[in-house]
Structure formats: C-alpha cells, structure tokens
Amino acid sequence: MPAAVPLARRAFLARIGVLGAALGGGGLLTRSLLNPADAATNPLLPPAVDLVRPVLAALARDTLNGLTAFALPGPDQYSRTQRASSRTPGAMEAGATDFMINALEHFVPFPDALAQPISAALVTGLADTGISLPGLEVLPAELRTLDQAFAALLQSDETLPLSFPIAGLLNLMATQVNPAAVNGPHLSPFARLTYAEKAKAFELIEKTDSDLVALLDVQFPEPLKASVSGLLKFVGGALIEFATFGAYGEFAVFDPKTKQLRKRPVGWTLTGYQPDGPVEGWDDFIGYYQGRTEVHD
C-alpha cells in the first residue's frame, strides 16, 4: 500500500461516499479507467480529475435524493429504501432535488474562501475514527489515482459546487450512524439509511458540541474557526427547512420566462391549495367582528 494514502484517509473517502460512487458496485468509474497503466498507454483518456467531477456530481445528486425523500416521502426507490414511502407523489415527483442543486450550485452566496477549505477538510481532515469499513477492497493503485485526482481538484482554482461538501457532510454522518452504509443500493451512504437513521444523522449535525465540529474546526485558522462551527449548526437546520420548502413549492413546474406554471405543483395537489390555480381574490369576507368597523381610544 502506497504511503501517500494512509488508511484513515481511504476510510474517509469511503465514508463520504466517494469511493463507493466511483468504484463500488454500480460505481460510475470502471477500475480500468483509473488504472495508471491504462492511462499511460491511452493518451485520449481524460485526466483522472475530469473523471472525478461527474462522480462528485452524481454522488451529490444521490445524496440529495436521500435528503428530499426524507423531507417529503413518495412512491420512489429512495423513499422505499428509507422504509418511509407513500403512495402519493413526493419529493422526486416535485423535483425537489433539482431545486436543492440549483440553489446550492448557483445561488447560495457562500464564499469560495470558506467552501473550499470545508471541502478540503471533509476530504482530508479527519483522523481515523475507529469505525471498521466492511467490503472495502480497492486496489491501491486505483485508490491512489482517485486520491490524487481529488487533491488536484481541491487545489485547483476551480470552484467546487457547494452540493459536494453538503453531500460529504451528510454521508459522513450517515456512516457514523450506520457504518454498513458504505455499501448497498444507491450511490451514497446517506440514501441507504432508514428514516430513523437519517434523523439520527441530523441529530449529530445539530448537536451543538459535536465532535465533527471540533474536528473540522482544526482545519481553519482563527478567526474563521468559530465561524465554521456556527455554520454547521445553521446548515443542519437549513437543509431540512429548505428541502421541505422546495418539495412543497412550484420550482419544478414554474416557467421563469412566462411566469406561468407548466402544470399543477405536487405540493398544491397534496395540500389542496388553490384548486383552480392562482386567483385575484376569494369570497371569504364574512363581515366585521361584533360589527365594529373602527375603534378609538
């Protein structure tokens, strides 16, 4: 095993879901793509860093599918995996994952100066937490390539989509709650959890003095240090609130050009809101309480 990839780091990559997404059963990269020998003999093969980028995107989407199904379960596979599903449409049908990704990647005005070190911390920062990782038998050479690709991506000027550290955080907590979640259906550990386990993952994020906060803080110089722990407390709540808002809103069916709805939002159907669409008013005026139309001292 190459010294450049210590065990803790490899375990960490597995825990935030990257190894599984890249190389596990159903993973997005074939081992040969990352095989240095192949790369050396095939000049047309994209550099590993280009291979990693779509893996991260797919991992983030899968993780967020796990999150939005948690916010609004439906008849989909993610809801079934969490063992809380529903016959009526849920977050997948409402396009809530697209809502989250759109927000995280284009509109969260989160400074790169912070996103970048958080991402780096999530990939490199944690010590071995002593959790055994079943079923992880990756060839060292492949792992090394992947690891280097990561390092290259994180060190480049390229802005990482914010969905990556968010997914990393959720997956890290997922494997804390259930170490076996490094393997299984879906791409991400978080999506493999039951509903109760997902709740436990959020409990860990929300815990004010969580070890995670302490560990991540180590990676930041003062005065950013205190900011990161506060930020994580905020993120735990915001992910749930925002995913739920997105699942019940009109994002997926709203046409920004015409400012009209393409069809009825899932959230409206579920709640019976505005059965005939937007209105100019309602016939809900009953009168004035006790007939009083004005008051004076």
Partner 1 sequence: MRDVIVIGAGGGGPVVAKELAAKGLDVLLLEAGPRHAKPREEWTTFEDDANNPLTGYFRLGPTDRSKPAWYREWPQNSFVWQLSGVGGTTQHFYGNYPRAYPGVFKGYDGADRNEYDVNHRFPFTYSEMVPYFEWVEAIMPVQTAAMGHKEQLFFRGAETMNLPVQTTKTTRGPSYRPQENAILQPGGTAGKTSDKNLLNYPQATGCTFCGYCFQGCMRPNGAPRNQFAKRSTDNSYVPMAVTAEVWARGGKPVELIADAYVTRVHTESRHGVLTASGVTWRDNVSGDEHREDARVVVMSGGCTENPRLWFNSGLPNPNGWVGRGYTDHFFDWMIGSFDDYTGNPKGVGSSARLDYPPYGGLENVGLPPALNAFAGTLSDSGIRGQYRNGRGQTGPWDGPAGRLMGPELKELLAGGIDKLLTVLVITDDDVEAQNRVTTSALPADENGPIPKVTFQQRKRTKRTLNNREFMARKAAELLRGAGAKKVYRIDWAPLILHVQSSMRMGESEHNSVLDPRGETRAVKRLFIADNSALSNGLGGPNPTLTSQALATRTAEKIFQTYFDGDPWVRKETPVVSTDPRISVRLGQLGL
- Contacting partner 1 within 70-89 (CB under 8 A): 70-73, 84, 86, 88
Q: Nearer Cβ to partner 1, position 150 or 268?
A: 268
- The alpha carbon of residue 77 and the mean position of all alpha carbons in its chain are separated, in whole angstroms, by 17
The two structure tokens encoding residue 152: 């290259």
Least CB distance to partner 1 at residue 126 (A): 22
- Kindly write out the interface string for residues 102-131 of this chain, putting x where it contacts partner 1 by CB under 8 A and - elsewhere: -x--xxxxxx-xx-----------------
Least CB distance to partner 1 at residue 79 (A): 9
**DSSP letter for each residue of 76-131:** SHHHHHTT---SS--TTTTTHHHHHHHIIIII----HHHHHHHHHHHHH-PPP---
* Residue type at 127 in one-letter notation: A
Q: What is the DSSP letter of 273?
A: -
Q: Nearer Cβ to partner 1, position 102 or 129?
A: 102
Q: Nearer Cβ to partner 1, position 28 or 240?
A: 240
Least CB distance to partner 1 at residue 171 (A): 19
Distance CA 260, CA 245 (A): 19
Residue 47 interacts with partner 1 (CB under 8 A): yes or no: no
Chain positions 253 to 292 lying near partner 1, rule: CB under 8 A, are 254, 256, 259, 261, 267-268, 270-274, 278-290, 292
Q: Binding residues for partner 1, how many (CB under 8 A)?
A: 79
* Residue type at 65 in one-letter notation: N
Chain positions 131 to 190 lying near partner 1, rule: CB under 8 A, are none
Least CB distance to partner 1 at residue 72 (A): 6
Least CB distance to partner 1 at residue 61 (A): 19
* CA dihedral sign of residues 206, 209, 210, 213: positive
Indicate the burial class of 241 (C-beta count within 10 angstroms; 0-12, 13-18, 19 or more).
exposed
Judge contact between 104 and 166, C-beta under 8 A: yes
Distance CA 96, CA 72 (A): 9
Q: Nearer Cβ to partner 1, position 30 or 274?
A: 274
The two structure tokens encoding residue 146: 């992947």
Instruction: By CB under 8 A, name the one of 31, 80, 207, 264 that touches partner 1.
Output: 207
Least CB distance to partner 1 at residue 181 (A): 17
Distance CA 119, CA 161 (A): 10
- Kindly write out the interface string for residues 226-255 of this chain, putting x where it contacts partner 1 by CB under 8 A and - elsewhere: xx-xxx-xx-xxx-xx--xxxxxxxx--x-
